[in-house]
Amino acid sequence: MGIFDFIKKFQEKKEQEKRVQAALQDLKKIENTSDYREGIIKSFYILETLGAEYLGIKRGEATTVREYVRLLEEDGIVRKDELKEYVTAFEVSKYSVYDPTLENFNKSVTVVRDLEKRFKNPKNRKVATSKGKKGKRGKKRRRAPTRTAGGDGEAPRRKRKVKRRTAD
């Protein structure tokens, strides 16, 4: 690794920090707005910027919000259905004739803030799944020995059925 590679990486890191800081400034601005529809839509674009800068997960031009969230879920960054309400609030804001509520707006901003903290710290990026403990099995039950007609306590042996091939 040469000095020029080091300088290039340093400059890229600096640019990344600038983009993230600009996104967080935008988040502060939308917290003070009364237009909930525009605030929720902008919060997704801020989330997209954070995901691209911290995680390297970029959203394609034709990628929908649900697909982008699915990418985050597949990488183990968010739990399945953790952003379900957020996606619904975004879709209502962007595509519906109904106005989003203050509650939807506040939840959206909170989700983006929480994910920003999680993305920022590499140790917290992967979330635990809710599948429970792995490797725990119930106790094996002992089977009672089957008795034969003679009463000696030994189980009768079964003959194995063998399929025979026929020559055609």
Q: What is the mean pLDDT of each run of 10 residues along the chain (168 residues)?
A: 73 78 80 83 86 83 89 84 90 90 88 85 61 51 52 57 67
Nearest-CA neighbor of 37 among 83, 114, 102, 82? Answer: 102
Query: Amino acid identity of 1?
Result: M
What gap in Å lies between CA 91 and CA 111, rounded to an integer?
A: 16
What gap in Å lies between CA 156 and CA 149, rounded to an integer?
A: 10
So what's the pLDDT on residue 149?
46
Nearest-CA neighbor of 50 among 27, 32, 67? Answer: 27
Q: How many CA atoms lie within 13 A of 108 on its CB side?
A: 30
What gap in Å lies between CA 94 and CA 116, rounded to an integer?
A: 22
So what's the pLDDT on residue 90?
92
Q: Residue 104 in contact with residue 39, Cβ under 8 Å? A: no
Best CATH choice for the domain 3-124 from the list 1.10.3710, 1.20.120, 1.10.3210, 1.25.40: 1.20.120
What gap in Å lies between CA 77 and CA 54, rounded to an integer?
A: 12
So what's the pLDDT on residue 150?
47
User: Where do the structural domains in the chain lie, given as residue ranges?
Assistant: 3-124
